Chain A
Amino acid sequence: MTSKQSLGDFFKRWEWLLVLLIFLVTIVNARLTPYFLDTRNLMRATSDFMELGLMMLPMVFIIITGNIDLSVASMMAMCASLMGWLHMQGTNIWVAMAAALLLGLLAGFLNGYLVARVKLPSLVVTLGTFAFYRGMAYALLGDQAARGYPESFTFLGQGSIGSIRFPFSAVLFIIFAVIFSLILYKLKFGRYLYVIGNNEEAGFYAGVNVVRTKLLIFMMSGFMSALAGIVLAARFGSTRPDIGTGLELAVITAVVLGGVSISGGSGTMIGAILALVLIGEMRFGMGLINIPGQGQNIVIGFLLILSILIPHVGRELTSGNVKVNKAMVGKTAVALIMIALFAIFFFWSRTLLIA
């Protein structure tokens, strides 16, 4: 994977496309609204995406091995809820925080154990723990919210450094991004991840400790989710059991958009980080021109699909072995007609109640 690549290949890489897109979005955003390049706005927007970023780092590892972790947002909620609950019982906040991180490691261990040792598909395991951990968050806090965190703690999420108000959570993210990149590129452990993703059995016979590696990445995921939960609790100044609902999908979206193959074996850390920046910038820009969150989701959803669709169609067309036959044209036509009919009905019926 790290063999010498020609200059042409270097510039054809997915990451450059992401850089280009980031550049384009920056220009468009800056032209759309003068508020975009305001540093204070930019910094505040940055801190909105740091929890996502913290959870994304281990998710890159997990998806490179061909696995998936659907439980990250639930682990985040469970750990933050435990911290909030302990704090309300009178425990020192830093002790409660340590307990939350420990619980994250344990939760990740359970995922990893079931995937690596019991050899269950990660999709099913983490679907189960997705419900279980979220359920534990509700069991801990019920419909209450834990609040009243001391100021020294909320600094983790609200604090900033220097005159440009660089968010402390971003510092945290950068530190961990460097650590995770070093693990991926400099340690044997990082190379093992690609080996497992490409061919687990071959890796096993080549002496890769597959079980331990998988166990570790799921534990990393648990730990980082707990950390993200702590940062989120500090940013909001309170914890509710429903925090971060649906965030797991946003995390996976960022990783896949970053060029990490969902079937495992390939992908880079820098790609995922660039995708995070792109998503963050697009959401921030759309927010500034008053596109609500759900409208933004549509754009991000299309971006995710197109990031796979366009390279696939491109490869098919350039490989030259695509046969344009009647059946294919027919199927495409049927699908397109159905989509068109839907669109017409969508806009027509919408006008019935909304004048």
Chain B
Amino acid sequence: MATTYSANDEKKGNNLFLTLVRFRELSIMIIILLLVILVSIRNPAFLSIENFRDILLNISILVIVALAQTMVIITRGIDLSVGSMIGLVAMMVAFVTVSFPEMSPLVAVLLGMAIGSCLGAFNGFLITMGGVPPIIATLGTLSIYRGLIFVYSGGQWVNSYEMPDGFRALAKGAPLGIPNIILIAAVVAVLVHLFLNFTRPGRDIYTIGSNPDAAKVAGVNVTRTTFMVYVISGVLCGLAAVLWASRFESAQTNTALGFELQSVAASVVGGVSILGGSGSVLGVVLGAFLLGIIENALTLVRISPFWQLAAQGLLILTAVIVDSAISRRLQRFGGES
């Protein structure tokens, strides 16, 4: 009798557990909620609309880049060059806008995305046609693109006062009541979600990541899809670069230095498997949000900013450890996903 009881108990607990896991996003939301409650007890200012707006402003660019990174990671790749691409595009677009102050900010955005697509195409070319593993190819272009910023600008910076007003208003302006940069990030998130879930190339990305050989047999054009993913990564980085230059009103040689690791962190915390094949837009957005909240909270509870990086690192480690524990339990209970 006792055994049946415990078996039943375990089954019940397990069901709840499985539900939680199926909606991986739900568990991140719970963590976010707990964090919000804890921090707002220490400092009620945390819950204000302005603070919430600040957090969203801070993570908008990260969300865009993390989504690009996510698509690459789903195909079992990695794009370490995102930070350098952002820096290079930001510098080039800043040069052009300063030289042509009358240029519409929209043109600047399109220009940034076009330059980004070229940089992404080079990555994709090396990886799909050149047989260079993604980590090596993008490690190489990380150095190359960053170096090109110096070659391009000769070490010069583009400063706030040089930039035309229209360009500066691009990120911060809020004609619809919400700052543009947040709206753009939201639109990108929705588009990427639709792309990944409801289009053939989007589904192919998952197929390639789950099993590249099977994908080939099933008639997926692996080379073209992989190439496309790196181009998309370049385009989104180009968009992020223009927003970056507009938001921080400058383009420097060290713009977005080290951003590749933040983007991977947001993806991984958001439940994207580094082994490829799985990951969702909602998860990544929540992952970026969690990173943003932690950064904001550490400031509000007056923890030295010098601890922020350590906290971020601990968060990534915790996220992957919890993730693996979950997937191992799933395997043990034979949970069909």
A-B interaction: yes
Interface residues of A in 86-121 (CB under 8 A from B): 114, 118-121
- How many residues in B have their beta carbons less than 8 Å from beta carbons of A? 68
Contact code string A164-191 (vs B, CB < 8 Å = 1, else 0): 0000000000000000000000000000
Report whether A304 and B139 are in contact in the complex, using a CB–CB cutoff of 8 Å: yes
Contact with A along B209-234 (1 / 0, CB 8 A): 00000000000000110010000000
Interface-facing stretch out of B53-61, B150-158, B192-200: B150-158
Q: Mark B91-126, 1 if CB is under 8 A from A, else 0.
A: 010011011000000000000000101110110111
Most interface-central of B78, B132, B133, B153 (chain A CB within 10 A): B132
Residue of B118, B139, B152, B158 near A350 (CB, 8 A) is B152
B121 and A142 contacting across the interface, CB-CB below 8 Å? no
A11 CB within 8 Å of chain B: no
Beyond A262-B136, A304-B140, A352-B99, 18 extra complex contacts between A and B, CB < 8 Å: A114-B317, A130-B261, A131-B316, A135-B310, A139-B306, A142-B304, A294-B146, A294-B151, A295-B147, A297-B144, A301-B139, A308-B132, A308-B136, A309-B131, A335-B124, A341-B118, A346-B92, A349-B92
Q: Pick the contact of B143 from A133, A298, A328, A338 — CB < 8 Å?
A: A298
Q: Verify if A27 is at the interface (C-beta below 8 Å from B).
A: no
Instruction: Check: A19 CB closer than 8 A to any chain B CB.
Output: no
Taking the complex as formed, is A253 at the interface, i.e. its CB lies under 8 A from any CB of chain B? Answer: yes
Q: In the complex, A132 Cα to B137 Cα: how many Å?
A: 26
Q: Do A131 and B309 have beta carbons less than 8 Å apart?
A: yes
Q: In the complex, are the beta carbons of A120 and B140 less than 8 A apart? A: no
Q: Decide if A128 is an interface residue (CB 8 Å cutoff).
A: yes
User: Given that A253-B139, A335-B122, A353-B98 are contacting pairs, would A132 and B133 also be in contact in the complex, using a CB cutoff of 8 Å?
Assistant: no
Check A135–B129 contact: CB distance below 8 A. Answer: no
- Is A273 an interface residue when CB atoms closer than 8 A count as contact? no
Contact, CB under 8 Å: B152 / A292: no
A308 touches B133 (CB 8 A): yes
Ranked nearest first, the 4 interchain pairs of A and B with the lowest CB-CB distance are A135-B310, A132-B313, A131-B313, A135-B309
Q: Are B154 and A354 in contact (CB under 8 A)?
A: yes
Task: Give the total of A residues in contact with B, Cβ under 8 Å.
Answer: 64
B288 to chain A, nearest CB (A): 15
Between A and B, 21 residue pairs with Cβ closer than 8 Å are A68-B135, A114-B321, A127-B264, A127-B268, A127-B316, A132-B309, A139-B310, A263-B133, A297-B143, A298-B144, A298-B147, A301-B142, A304-B139, A309-B130, A313-B131, A331-B128, A335-B124, A338-B122, A339-B118, A345-B92, A352-B95
Whether B307 is near chain A, meaning CB under 8 Å from some CB there, is: yes
| A352/B152 in contact, CB under 8 A | no
Which of the residues A68, A128, A249, A305 comes within 8 Å of B313, measured between beta carbons? A128
B86 in contact (CB, < 8 A): no
